[in-house]
Structure 1
Amino acid sequence: MKTMLILGASRGLGLGLAAEYLARGWNVIGTIREGSPGGLPSLADDRLRIETLDITDAGQLAALRTRLAGVVVDLLFVNAAITNGNVPAAEVPTEEFVDVMVTNVLSPMRAVEALAELVPPTGTIAVMSSRQGSITMNTNAGYEVYRASKSALNQLMKSYAVRHASDPRTLLLVNPGHVQTELGGPGAVRTVEEAVPPIVDTIEKRSGEPGLQFVDYENQVVPW
């Protein structure tokens, strides 16, 4: 039985992914922030292990790594992002800019570095990205700091992949498309229930391919 570890599983796509992998027979370790369990406990499955983690807290990340010592994680999925709204970058307060970058860029990379040793050579490390991180596909502007954070995340994952060029594991940046989540808004074209199965199918299809790919939920390569 395979095991997936998903960071950020209290709601939205993270919760949907946890539920889908449980439905497909996997063991799931899902993280929530203290005091914010969301819907994860309601899944109530004996194959579900819930851990507490604030991904922006390096100490909590190190503690999670210690608690998971000896666990083999076939899929590590880092799902963490916030947005500051649709504001031109020059108008964003410094603290707000830093908050977005720490949450969306630095913290996911720290998580990958801290937890990668749990993933075997046949495993997959996936990080939730966005088409808004694609410079090529930026044709309508807006949400500038969020876009910049996802572009920076893509760049750092590329640097990680280059630094680990001989690593046989699959590395994925996943664009989930426009989904009805807190980030995507109620006007998004697909619900979480509609969006999640194709994402999981794409991850399964890419499994076993070494190196880094930036792909969408339909398994199409997204231009950088």
Structure 2
Amino acid sequence: MSTTPDRRALVIGASKGLGLVLVGELARRGWHVIATARQDGDELRAHADASNGRLTVESLEMNSPEQLAALRERLADHRLDLLFVNAAIDRGDLPITEVPTDMFTEVMITNALSPLRALETLRPLVVPGGTVAVMSSEQGSISRNTEDGYELYKASKAALNQLMRSYATRHADDGHTKLLVDPGHNRTGLGGFDAPLAPEESVPAVVDVLEAQAGAPGLRFLDRHGEPVPW
């Protein structure tokens, strides 16, 4: 990842929660950031208006391959030091035996399939030595799955991690740093408002990890302290 003042990032899924704080932190550090929102991006657009041009907003429904392709065309003249996919959903704490098929499909498409589609579609915009990263979760760690609950969400993040391993194998020689990042359990709409961490605490540490890992070969699954998360 470049250390010049012209560092550029694209963050997929930035209308709220961790994504919103992430784009703000990157812009604060001098990055030029393109952030995507599906529709409810009023707060994100307000951030962009106050950013002195460091933050711009693009509309994107990540689950649409057509919209991903259109975004790539709109950004064809851009070169990115960082491509970060943050978007994810949760549909509550149902035992897997009670999860409707359409809910299972929706969560798996949004949390596992679509992030990899986004990476494959947009990776040509990433410069040699740039970083391709996805927001994962400790809940995707199979070896740490020792407590009941949130079976579908855990499965979707484990699937995401596995697909990212396949992505890293397929593109082993592309010169990109590849990261799965566990930001910890944050107080967001996704993480719940009784979670121990505030995004304003965890996200600067996440950006520290992104910047510290720049240029490192291979794929790493790291927490916000830069420590490996077991698969």
Superposition TM-score tier, normalisation by shorter sequence: over 0.9
Query: Hey, what does 1:93 align to over in structure 2?
Result: 100
Bigger mean CA deviation after superposition, 162-171 or 146-155: 162-171
Is 1:107 the counterpart of 2:114? The answer is: yes
Query: Hey, what does 1:7 align to over in structure 2?
Result: 12
Is 1:18 the counterpart of 2:23? The answer is: yes
Residues 5-34 of structure 1 deviation map (CA, whole Å, 9 limit, x = unaligned): 000010000000000011000100000113
CA RMSD of aligned residues (A): 0.8
Is 1:209 the counterpart of 2:213? The answer is: no
Query: Hey, what does 1:42 align to over in structure 2?
Result: 46
Amino acid at match of 1:174: V
Instruction: Work out the CA distance in 1 between the residues paired with 2:163 and 2:77.
Output: 27
Q: Work out whether residues 169 and 210 of structure 1, in 8 Å CA contact, stay in contact via their aligned partners in 2.
A: yes
Instruction: Work out the CA distance in 1 between the residues paired with 2:95 and 2:84.
Output: 30
Query: Hey, what does 1:145 align to over in structure 2?
Result: 152
Amino acid at match of 2:7: K
Bigger mean CA deviation after superposition, 158-167 or 62-71: 158-167
Once the 2 structures are TM-superposed, how far is the Cα of residue 184 of structure 1 from its aligned partner? 0.8
Query: Hey, what does 1:67 align to over in structure 2?
Result: 74
Query: Hey, what does 2:142 align to over in structure 1?
Result: 135
Instruction: Work out the CA distance in 1 between the residues paired with 2:225 and 2:42.
Output: 28
2:112 is paired with a residue of what secondary structure? Answer: helix
User: What is the total number of aligned residue pairs between the two structures?
Assistant: 223
Once the 2 structures are TM-superposed, how far is the Cα of residue 206 of structure 1 from its aligned partner? 0.8
Q: Work out whether residues 180 and 187 of structure 1, in 8 Å CA contact, stay in contact via their aligned partners in 2.
A: yes
Q: Work out whether residues 14 and 87 of structure 2, in 8 Å CA contact, stay in contact via their aligned partners in 1.
A: no
Residues 170-190 of structure 1 deviation map (CA, whole Å, 9 limit, x = unaligned): 000000001011111111111
Residues 159-204 of structure 1 deviation map (CA, whole Å, 9 limit, x = unaligned): 0111112122100000000101111111111111111100000111
Is 1:196 the counterpart of 2:222? The answer is: no
Instruction: Work out the CA distance in 2 between the residues paired with 1:13 and 1:119.
Output: 22
Q: Could you tell me the percent identity over the aligned residues?
A: 55
Instruction: Work out the CA distance in 1 between the residues paired with 2:117 and 2:169.
Output: 16
Provide the TM-score with structure 1 as the length reference: 0.98
Q: Work out whether residues 167 and 210 of structure 1, in 8 Å CA contact, stay in contact via their aligned partners in 2.
A: no
Provide the TM-score with structure 2 as the length reference: 0.95
Instruction: Work out the CA distance in 1 between the residues paired with 2:42 and 2:153.
Output: 23
Instruction: Work out the CA distance in 2 between the residues paired with 1:178 and 1:50.
Output: 27
Instruction: Work out the CA distance in 1 between the residues paired with 2:15 and 2:199.
Output: 13
Residues 41-72 of structure 1 deviation map (CA, whole Å, 9 limit, x = unaligned): 12122121110001011111110000000200
Name structure 2 gaps, 5 residues minimum: 1-5
Instruction: Work out the CA distance in 1 between the residues paired with 2:171 and 2:62.
Output: 23
Residues 61-119 of structure 1 deviation map (CA, whole Å, 9 limit, x = unaligned): 11000000020010000011111111111110000000000100110000000000000
Name structure 1 gaps, 5 residues minimum: none
Amino acid at match of 2:13: G
Amino acid at match of 1:32: A
Q: 1:38 to 1:88 in 2, by over 3 A?
A: farther
Q: Which segments of structure 1 move beyond 3 Å, counting only runs of 4 or more?
A: none
